[in-house]
């Protein structure tokens, strides 16, 4: 069996089993095993996995199942880092609610429709056509999970042409992430809105200068939630200088501090002062308010501004009134308020209220391609991936990130097809039932 046919397997990119171009049995097989360039699909990742095992006795770097992925990441990570990512606020009821919300809906597939192996997942988002409506959620301090941190995650999202969101709590700066993400790729910047307007202006100007094109303003984390796992250890990486790189590199912060903490002659005490300054100015315990949004618009101009952390219909309507371009329905992965509504449970009412007036993003609890399908079917315009990517990162850096992202996209594309959808236009609430 390991003859000429399988020689092609190392470049398997397609499961185009019913290619109309196949004339003979051999041509049909070749069209599957060695497809024409440009006809690749996310779902072909499954063939790649099967053939890599058949030919080379290789299995993926981590599981394709979320629970097993998280379990092996836990073994690889220091306990404090694992708990920092896995944990939530208080009794972690909101973390659980985010997952339970997905069980409130079941997919009701349609059959006998003209679905081809290549399903059209492209979507138009903030003046870009994207290959899929999938975005990297802003996640800080990624070097906790692998030394390559944000460099690895931004590289993989760039490779796939999917938006990467850089956090204000990043352990890597604007320019370095832009370089690893790659020229021309869609990059977003997430702001923890500083209490000092000069710093805000400086962060936004540096972001724009480095090609970040959408501003995501996180509005639910102006004070830190009661994160019991971290509290029990006293674990707060920012004080030790991890997750404060945006502040350490900022020229206006240098002026305010009176020194450059990254200078060769900077003392350890100065570095710690600068880390504290960044942390305090970005999580100051004073809520941002609607009436100050103009300050961001003044610096950011016409480029898209999106509010992350909206959960109520009233706030979504206010977002329309105040002229922002989008909202991301999110409860910060259950890390802020314990006992909050499951993120997906809040989605339908917000979609009913503001769909078409705003771009609607969603995150919280997405663990599989089927979850992505459900969120989109309920009306989200895009979804964000958080914890699954971190667990991938723990597995050999970019290799694990690539595996997890390709797996989620593959399962999503397969689910779209098996539910009877040719493109995302077909993915709607008629394919879901409440359970
Ligand atoms: C370790 C960790 C760090 C995070 N850091 C940020 C951040 O810096 N800024 C932000 O807006 N959200 C942050 N989030 C929240 C994510 O953007 C997203 O809302 C959340 O991870 C979604 O939940 P899920 O990962 O369970 O799907 C963080 C989440 C985790 C798990």
Q: CA-to-CA distance for 119 and 414, rounded, in angstroms?
A: 9
CA dihedral 409, 415, 418, 420 (to 10 degrees): -100
Distance CA 395, CA 59 (A): 13
Whether residues 300 and 264 fall in one domain? yes
Each residue's pLDDT tens digit, 205-215: 999 999 999 99
What is the per-residue pLDDT for 5?
A: 39
Same domain, 314 and 391: yes
Local structure of residue 139 (DSSP, 8 states): -
Provide the annotated binding site for glyoxylate.
84, 167, 192, 227, 332, 335
Q: Do the beta carbons of residue 342 and residue 392 sit within 8 Å?
A: no
Query: In terms of domains, do 281 and 156 share one?
Result: yes
Task: Please say whether the beta carbons of 354 and 360 come within 8 A.
Answer: yes
Q: What is the pLDDT of residues 217-255, one digit of tens each?
A: 999 999 999 999 999 999 999 988 999 999 999 999 999
Per the structure, the count of domains in the chain is 2
Note whether 315 and 379 are same-domain residues.
yes
Look at residue 10 in the predicted model and tell me its pLDDT: 38
Residue 136 lies in a domain: yes
Q: Which atom of ligand 1 is nearest to the CA of 86?
A: 31
- How far apart (Å, rounded) are the C-alpha atoms in residues 44 and 378? 26
Query: Is residue 22 located within the same domain as residue 130?
Result: no
What span, in angstroms and rounded, lies between the C-alpha atoms of 407 and 63? 9
**Residue of 335, 375, 385, 405 to test ligand 1 pocket, by largest number of atoms within 8 Å of CB:** 335
**255 C-alpha to center of ligand 1: Å?**
30
Please state whether beta strands 305-310 and 212-218 pair in parallel, antiparallel, or not at all (unpaired). parallel
Q: Is 88 in the pocket of ligand 1 (CB under 6 A)?
A: no
Supply the residue whose CA is at minimum distance from atom 13 of ligand 1: 139
pLDDT at position 23 is 72
33 and 89 within one domain: no
Cα–ligand 1 centroid distance for 45 (angstroms): 27
Residue 125 maps to a domain: yes
d(CA 375, CA 408): 14
Residues belonging to the binding site for FMN are: 138-140, 190, 218, 308, 330, 363-367, 386-387
pLDDT in the model for residue 11: 39
CA 281 to chain CA centroid, Å, is 25
Feature table: binding site? 84, 138-140, 167, 190, 192, 218, 227, 308, 330, 332, 335, 363-367, 386-387
Residue 330's nearest CA partner among 137, 172, 142 is 137
CATH code of 423's domain: 3.20.20.70
Going by C-alpha positions, the residue among 74, 81, 78 that lies closest to residue 243 is: 81
Whether 333 maps to a domain, the answer reads yes
3-state secondary structure of 188: strand
Note whether 13 and 83 are same-domain residues.
no
Considering 29, 56, 83, which residue would you say is the last residue of a domain? Answer: 56
Q: Nearest 5°: CA angle at 370, between 225 and 96? A: 30
* 94 lies in some domain: yes
Q: Which atom of ligand 1 is nearest to the CA of 363?
A: 22
For the CA of 333, the closest atom of ligand 1 is 23
Q: What is the DSSP letter of 431?
A: G
The verdict on residue 376 lying in a domain is: yes
Q: What is the pLDDT of residues 73-89, one digit of tens each?
A: 999 999 999 999 999 99
* 178 and 281 belong to one structural domain: yes
**Could you tell me if residue 15 is inside a domain?**
yes
Query: Same domain, yes or no, for 284 and 136?
Result: yes
Same domain for 139 and 245:
yes
Spatial CA neighbour of 351 closest among 306, 385, 324, 382: 382
Q: For tokens 């597995």, name the residue.
A: 395
Q: Say what the alpha-carbon torsion angle 137, 341, 346, 322 is, to the nearest 10 degrees.
A: -70
Residues paired with 384 in a beta bridge:
135
Is 336 among the domain residues?
yes
The answer to whether residues 423 and 121 touch, using CB atoms and an 8 Å cutoff, is yes
> DSSP letter string over 325-380?
SEEEE--GGGTS-TTPPPHHHHHHHHHHHHBTTBEEEE-S---SHHHHHHHHHTT-
Residue 63 lies in a domain: no
**Could you say which residues of the chain have pLDDT below 50?**
1-19
pLDDT number for residue 219: 98
- Note the Cα 139 to chain centre separation in Å: 8
What global pTM score does this model have? Answer: 0.94
State how far the Cα of 176 lies from the Cα of 198, in Å rounded to an integer.
23
Decide if 42 contacts 14 (C-beta within 8 A): no
Q: Which is the closest atom of ligand 1 to the Cα of 138? A: 17
What are the residue numbers of the active site?
332
Query: 47 and 120 share a domain?
Result: no
HSE, side-chain direction, 13 A CA sphere, residue 384: 28
What are the DSSP calls for 250-317, one per residue?
-HHHHHHHTS-TTSTT--HHHHHHHHHHHHHHHS-S----GGGHHHHHHHHTTS-EEEEEE-SHHHHH
Range of the domain at 299: 69-434
- Tokens 């480095």 belong to 210
If residue 45 lies in a helix (H) or strand (E), which one and from where to where? helix 45-56
Residue of the CA atom closest to atom 31 of ligand 1: 85
Same structural domain for residues 23 and 125?
no
Mutating to test ligand 1, I would choose from 69, 89, 95, 140 the residue with most ligand atoms within 8 A of its C-beta, which is 140
- pLDDT tens digit sequence for 91-108: 999 999 999 999 999 999
Residue with CA closest to ligand 1 atom 19: 332
């Amino acid at each position: 069996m390991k003859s000429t046919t399988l020689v092609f397997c190392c470049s398997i990119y397609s499961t185009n089993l019913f290619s109309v171009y196949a004339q003979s049995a051999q041509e049909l097989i070749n069209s599957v095993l060695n497809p024409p360039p440009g006809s690749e699909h996310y779902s072909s990742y499954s063939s790649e996995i099967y053939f890599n095992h058949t030919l080379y006795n290789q299995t993926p770097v981590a599981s394709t199942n979320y629970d097993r992925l998280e379990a092996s990441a836990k073994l690889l990570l220091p306990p404090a880092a694992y708990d920092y990512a896995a944990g939530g606020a208080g009794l972690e009821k909101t973390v659980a609610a985010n997952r339970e919300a997905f069980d409130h809906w079941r997919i009701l597939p349609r059959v006998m429709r003209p679905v081809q192996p290549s399903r059209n997942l492209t979507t138009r988002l903030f003046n870009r056509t994207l290959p899929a409506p999938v975005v990297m959620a802003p996640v800080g301090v990624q070097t906790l999970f692998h030394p390559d941190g944000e460099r690895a995650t931004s590289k993989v999202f760039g490779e796939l042409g999917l938006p990467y969101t850089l956090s204000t709590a990043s352990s890597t700066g604007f320019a370095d992430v832009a370089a690893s993400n790659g020229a021309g790729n869609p990059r977003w910047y997430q702001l923890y809105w500083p209490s000092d307007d000069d710093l805000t202006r400086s962060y936004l100007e540096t972001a724009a200068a480095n090609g970040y094109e959408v501003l995501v303003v996180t509005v639910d984390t102006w004070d830190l939630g009661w994160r019991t796992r971290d509290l029990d250890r006293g674990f707060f990486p920012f004080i030790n200088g991890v997750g404060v790189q945006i502040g350490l590199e900022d020229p206006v912060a240098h002026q305010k501090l009176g020194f450059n903490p990254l200078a060769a002659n900077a003392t350890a005490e100065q570095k710690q002062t600068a880390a504290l300054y960044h942390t305090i100015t970005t999580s100051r315990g004073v809520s941002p308010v609607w009436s100050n949004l103009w300050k961001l618009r003044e610096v950011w101009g016409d480029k898209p501004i999106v509010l992350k952390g909206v959960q109520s219909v009233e706030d979504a309507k206010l977002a329309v009134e105040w002229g922002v371009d989008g909202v991301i329905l999110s409860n910060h992965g259950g890390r802020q308020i314990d006992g909050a509504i499951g993120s997906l449970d809040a989605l339908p009412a917000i979609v009913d209220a503001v769909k078409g007036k705003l771009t609607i993003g969603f995150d919280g609890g997405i663990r599989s391609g089927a979850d992505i399908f459900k969120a989109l079917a309920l009306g989200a315009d895009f979804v964000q991936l958080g914890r699954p990517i971190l667990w991938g990162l723990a597995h050999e850096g970019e290799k694990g990130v690539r595996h997890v992202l390709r797996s989620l996209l593959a399962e999503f594309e397969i689910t779209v097809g098996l539910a009877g959808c040719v493109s995302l236009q077909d993915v709607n609430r008629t394919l879901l039932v409440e359970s």
